[in-house]
A and B are shown apart, each in its own frame.
Chain A
């Protein structure tokens, strides 16, 4: 294998706007109501005003160990040697949903034909568009920038060969990745928490400015 391609995500720069999801749909000419290949989740905890929320943008992470590939009965899912991108041969897919159960990220979705479709890292366009494509080129070498990366308002999403993505990550994120964070499938920046609230929550205090409400 030459180098594994990876995604990078920085929740500190994600503003939760869903531009990545819309960009993905546009690039792959998919209907608005089709399943998102790149989803944005809004995770929250706490009670007002000790409340925190964080947006998480996720897609197929093209895992090095590709659990979906391992369970696919008709061998329709391919973990490519040349760039590590996981593609789907829709001629072989039988729509059994095994891959959805195996995937750690809930990435595979099933379209009107009942066939699996998911992110192909913009290797090609449309469902199955990655299958049989030549090796993924970086934008410097003439390849397309993935739509979600291209249109991320906060530059929170990056993608590329592992060494390039690692070089752009902070030391802390790279270190955590090396230690096995997220199964070494995606590089995620540590969350810089809201200092006031985080301290208050840790100490069990009410943060400054808290308001007490009745009922």
Chain B
């Protein structure tokens, strides 16, 4: 039984790769359990309840088995828009989603409020915590003004936060996830070109040709409809192309894997455009009628031959021709999925602009199998208006300091974005930001960790809503423990657009499965309590989060109970080619190859001396380029087990992460530094050794364990983010410890690519 298509699948091999260490572990004796589910009567009747997964915030439906009042099992919801492949298909949960069951009963969670007294955090009850926080907020407003409080609540499941901090408290400073710390370059390019912020998602099931451009869809996805959709497309005969310096699980399934030189995506895209125009394979009618700036684009690609790109990208010129030709011939049923892989380096804005230009060129926009312009449900996003509440706008007239103060004139992104993650510590130094409110979004994982740690120390007031202790919660003045998704009534109101249903709007909701652990409260209840203490009680008439959600559904023919009862409902259909009627949401109303008409962008470009049209910006123009001292490209990555640096404390996840690397026998549960043997051997590094990373900013906070593998390109090393100093799971290294304000100067996106050297950590 040893022949599995050339892979040796004998007992010996499998034991070697997975089982052997597990046998070893069995002798380790009794270890403290990770599951703290209460004991339940196995004969008790079971009930079914629903949730919407919040682990990566992409809302796959969760079906809970509840026995004797305890949730004992968790599964997917069939036909769910995010967790299934669509009509007639089963819903599942990825490991993160399943681990929400562990989180529900996790004794390590923060389960009651804490306030700072005489320099120390102490337990408090809710009345005390609300009173203390309200007083501190009032003092802060008197001393600094609300404009000096940073709203860092970008990832919440209710939108009540933005009304509280923006309208009532009146701060104009807010950090957003998409624009500032996740995929700022593509976010900016996508929006300005006319594709919107959802430019990552292909109409997979109808596609004949999918390019996963720096995307690892089978491991890092925005809901499981993505890998499921791609698998369906492949079964239907679609071609999958993966552009990635790493051989990822997505590359494993690809027809073509293009192991590109890091950060040369823009060159590959321009060369593809060159071929498509040269071969006259572009969509002339679409280009003529629906686009702006084609002349400038044509000029930009005129000399960008595949041979030119071969030298830069390391991809064979003939293969570039083949990919470009096949992509254009498959169009419009050809889609490009692009996200953080082309989003997290300093030249990312222009690189993504070059890639997105291909959509306009082949006319795959909002056509079956290409790029889809998804429609969200017609939610009433302002429940205050629905209740007839005259909500003030106290942020009005208060300008973000970045756009006002001369200190920031060296930052071209001040024209395109209100603030940048990497500039916050400097703004704290300058006295422009003196406080912060945070919600389930730890800035210490997102860039410049050392500077941010100092900034938190300097701030007069730090309020945080979180589930686990970390360097931010420990340094806060107030810690509010929020109920997790399964403990509250939830309406998924953030971006419920893209899904396995290419032509349907949808909405998903769920009732609390369980009482909150300890003294946790829902986000709405926290804001209501705080508002009452601040004298704003009149603005919060809703008794509960469910009641608030009810008003969000004012435009939809379902009540909250009705949606929650079945977990999701499909709403009206929408058609392809919506641009025919609506045009594009851009300055010219057309798809824009050239961003010359976008005022803020044009100002940024002018200051930087770059073109508004697509252009080749070589790596090293703004970001770090490896040199003799720091010869390696160091990137942080995402695995299927973790998202947003928030899931690392969950034992099921870090355990399986270790097992995936065959390192479960090691007494280490941090992240792994992945490197090629050709880099590891000269440095005397083997799998299982502890190594340190060093960049121009200094040495890493802690060593990580090396994982030496041919899956990564020589010269290209990676580690998973969300571990180490500042994080909830401190074992391992913080990949952002060695980051020193590098960013994309156009979009302000944190540059998560660094030139580095890796050394054996020495010792044990």
Interface residues of chain A, those whose CB is within 8 Å of chain B, are: 11-13, 15-19, 21-23, 25-27, 29-33, 35-36, 39-49, 51-56, 58, 100, 103-106, 109-112, 125, 147, 150-155, 181-183, 185, 188, 190-191, 193-197, 208-211, 213, 215
- Asked if A52 and B252 make an inter-chain contact with CB atoms under 8 angstroms apart, the answer reads yes
Q: Assuming the A-B contacts A41-B17, A181-B1, A211-B314, are A29 and B37 also in contact, with contact meaning beta carbons closer than 8 angstroms in the complex? A: yes
Q: Mark B28-46, 1 if CB is under 8 A from A, else 0.
A: 0111011101000010000
- The answer to whether A112 and B29 have CB atoms under 8 Å apart is yes
Query: Considering the chains assembled together, what is the distance between the CA atoms of A22 and B641 in angstroms?
Result: 11
B1-26 interface code vs A (CB 8 A; 1 in, 0 out): 10111111111011101110011011
Inter-chain contacts of B660 with A (CB < 8 A): 16, 18, 40, 42
Which residues of B from 61 to 103 have beta carbons under 8 Å from A?
A: 72-76, 90, 92-95, 98-99, 101-102
B718 → chain A closest CB, angstroms: 13
- Chain B residues with Cβ below 8 Å from A181 are 1, 3
21 contacts between A and B (CB under 8 A): A17-B640, A18-B641, A18-B656, A21-B659, A26-B101, A27-B73, A33-B655, A36-B18, A43-B9, A49-B259, A52-B247, A54-B252, A56-B4, A150-B92, A153-B94, A181-B3, A190-B5, A208-B318, A208-B319, A213-B714, A213-B715
Cβ of B238 under 8 Å from chain A: no
Across the interface, which residues of B come within 8 angstroms of A15, CB to CB?
A: 218-219, 227, 231, 249, 253, 640
Which residue of chain B lies nearest to A117 when distances are taken between CB atoms in the complex? B26
A48-B676 in contact given A17-B640, A42-B660 (Cβ < 8 Å)? yes
A112 proximity list for chain B (CB < 8 A): 29-30
From known contacts A32-B35, A106-B11, infer whether A48 and B711 are also in contact, taking CB-CB under 8 Å.
yes
**Chain A residues in 8 Å Cβ range of B257:** 49, 194, 196-197, 209
Complex contacts, B25 vs chain A, CB 8 Å: 33, 35
When chains A and B are docked, how far (Å) is the Cα of A11 from the Cα of B231?
A: 12
Name the A residues within 8 Å of B92 (CB-CB): 19, 150-153
In the bound complex, residues from chain A placing their C-beta under 8 Å from that of B678 are: 48, 213, 215
Q: Does B315 reach chain A (CB closer than 8 Å)?
A: yes
Secondary structure dominating the interface of A: loop
Residues of A within 8 A of B23 (CB): 35, 100, 106, 109-110
Shortest beta-carbon distance from B77 to chain A in Å: 12
- Give min CB distance, B254 to chain A, whole Å: 6
Are the C-beta atoms of A17 and B219 separated by less than 8 Å? yes
B256 touching A33, Cβ below 8 Å: no
Contacts of A25 in B (CB 8 A): 35, 652
Please, how many angstroms separate the alpha-carbon atoms of A46 and B5 in the complex? 15
Rounded to whole angstroms, the CA-CA distance of A104 and B685 in the bound complex is: 34
Minimum CB distance partner of A110 in chain B: B26
Chain A residues closer than 8 Å to B219, beta-carbon distance: 15-17
State whether A182 touches B1 (Cβ < 8 A): yes
**Pair count A-B, CB < 8 A:** 231
A51, B710: Cβ atoms closer than 8 Å: yes
B426 contacts the other chain (CB 8 A): no
Given A194-B254, A209-B256: 4 more A-B contacts, CB < 8 Å: A15-B219, A26-B73, A104-B11, A153-B228
B659 adjacent to A48 (CB under 8 Å): no
Are A209 and B231 in touch, CB under 8 angstroms?
no
Given the contacts A18-B95, A43-B17, A45-B7, A33 and B651 also touching, CB distance less than 8 Å:
yes
* Across-interface contacts of A33 in B (CB, < 8 A): 25, 31, 34, 651, 655
CA distance A213 to B35 in the complex (A): 47
Nearest CB in chain A: distance from B353 CB, A: 24
Top 7 closest pairs, chain A to chain B, by CB? A32-B34, A32-B651, A106-B19, A191-B5, A15-B218, A211-B314, A41-B18
Query: Which of chain B's residues 201-257 have a Cβ closer than 8 Å to chain A?
Result: 218-219, 224, 227-228, 231, 247, 249, 252-257
Given known A-B contacts A16-B660, A43-B17, A150-B92, A54 and B7 have beta carbons under 8 A apart = yes
**In whole Å, how far is B689's beta carbon from the nearest beta carbon of chain A?**
19
- How far, in whole Å, are A22 and B98 apart by their CA atoms in the complex? 7
The answer to whether A209 touches B258 (Cβ under 8 A) is yes
**B74 nearest in chain A by CB position:** A26
Return chain B residues, CB-CB under 8 Å to A55: 249, 252
Contacts of A151 in B (CB 8 A): 75-76, 92-93, 98
Complex Cα spacing A39 to B30, Å: 21
Asked if B712 is at the interface (CB within 8 A of a chain A CB), the reply is yes
> Which B residue sits closest to A97, measured CB to CB?
B23
With both chains docked as a complex, state the minimum distance between the C-beta of A187 and any C-beta of chain B, in angstroms.
12
Q: A32–B660 Cα gap in the complex (Å)?
A: 14
Q: Which residues of B contact A53 (CB under 8 A)?
A: 247, 249, 252, 711
Tell me the nearest residue of chain B to A193, going by C-beta.
B5
Please tell me which one of the listed residues A26, A49, A193 contacts residue B98 in the complex, with CB atoms under 8 A apart.
A26
Decide if B26 touches A35 in the complex (CB within 8 Å): yes
**B322: nearest chain-A partner, CB-CB:** A208
Most B-side CB within 10 Å, residue of A36, A48, A109, A110: A48
List the B residue with the shortest CB-CB distance to A215. B678
- Interface residues of chain B, those whose CB is within 8 Å of chain A, are 1, 3-11, 13-15, 17-19, 22-23, 25-26, 29-31, 33-35, 37, 42, 72-76, 90, 92-95, 98-99, 101-102, 218-219, 224, 227-228, 231, 247, 249, 252-259, 261, 314-316, 318-319, 322, 640-641, 650-653, 655-656, 659-660, 662, 676, 678, 682, 709-715
Complexed CA–CA distance, A36 and B656 (Å):
9
Report how far A33 CA is from B14 CA in the complex, Å. Answer: 19
CA distance A211 to B247 in the complex (A): 14
Contacts A18-B656, A112-B30 given; indicate if A44 touches B227 (C-beta within 8 A).
no
- Say yes or no: A36 contacts B22, CB within 8 Å: yes
| Complex contacts, A193 vs chain B, CB 8 Å | 5-6
Give the CA-CA distance A47 to B253 in the complex, in Å.
Answer: 17
Q: How far is B247's CA from A48's CA once the two chains are assembled, in angstroms? A: 8
Which listed residue, A41, A150, A197, touches B75 by the CB 8 Å rule? A150
Q: Output the least CB separation between A140 and chain B (Å).
A: 14
Cα A182 to Cα B256 in complex, Å, equals 30
Residue among B3, B652, B712 facing the most chain A CB atoms (10 A cut-off): B652
Looking at the assembled complex, report how far the CB atom of B91 sits from the nearest CB atom of chain A, in whole angstroms.
Answer: 10
Please indicate which of the listed interface residues A15, A41, A45, A213 has the most CB atoms of chain B within 10 Å of its own CB.
Answer: A15
Which one of B6, B30, B101, B656 lies within 8 Å of A21 (CB-CB)? Answer: B656
Complex alpha-carbon distance, A193 and B251, angstroms: 11
Known: A13-B231, A153-B92, A188-B4. A29 touches B99 (CB 8 A): no
Q: Which residues of B contact A188 (CB under 8 A)?
A: 4
Given A25-B652, A39-B659 in contact, is the A17-B7 Cβ separation under 8 Å? no
Bound: A112/B255 CA distance, A: 46
CB neighbours of A43 from chain B (8 A)? 7-9, 13, 17
A155 contacts across to B, CB distance below 8 A: 90, 231
A59 to chain B, nearest CB (A): 11
Residues A195 and B18 in contact, CB atoms below 8 Å apart: no
Q: Chain A residues with Cβ under 8 A from B662's Cβ? A: 42
Assess whether A23 is in contact with B98, with CB atoms less than 8 Å apart. yes
A211 interface neighbour in B30, B231, B261, Cβ under 8 Å: B261
Q: Given the complex of chains A and B, what is the CA–CA distance between A48 and B109 in angstroms?
A: 42
- C-alpha spacing A163/B6, complex, angstroms: 28
Residue of A nearest to B90 (CB): A155
Contact indicator B72/A29 (Cβ below 8 Å): yes
CB neighbours (8 Å) of A23 from chain B are 75, 93, 98
Report the bound CA distance from A151 to B8 in whole Å: 27
**Within 8 Å CB of B259, what residues of A?**
48-49, 209-211
| Contact partners of B641 in chain A: CB under 8 A | 18
Q: How far is the CB of B388 from chain A (nearest CB, A)?
A: 46
Q: Is the CB of A30 within 8 A of B255?
A: no
Q: Which residue of B lies closest to A211 (CB)?
A: B314
Q: Please indicate the chain B residues that have their CB under 8 angstroms from the CB of A147 in the complex.
A: 73
Bound together, the chains give a CA A41 to CA B227 distance in angstroms of: 20
- In the complex, which residues of chain A have a beta carbon less than 8 angstroms from the beta carbon of B254? 194
A186 nearest CB across to chain B (Å): 9
CB atoms of B655 and A32 under 8 A apart: yes
Given known contacts A43-B13, A191-B4, A22 and B656 CB-to-CB distance under 8 angstroms: yes
Which B residue sits closest to A152, measured CB to CB?
A: B92
List of B residues within 8 angstroms of A46 by Cβ: 710
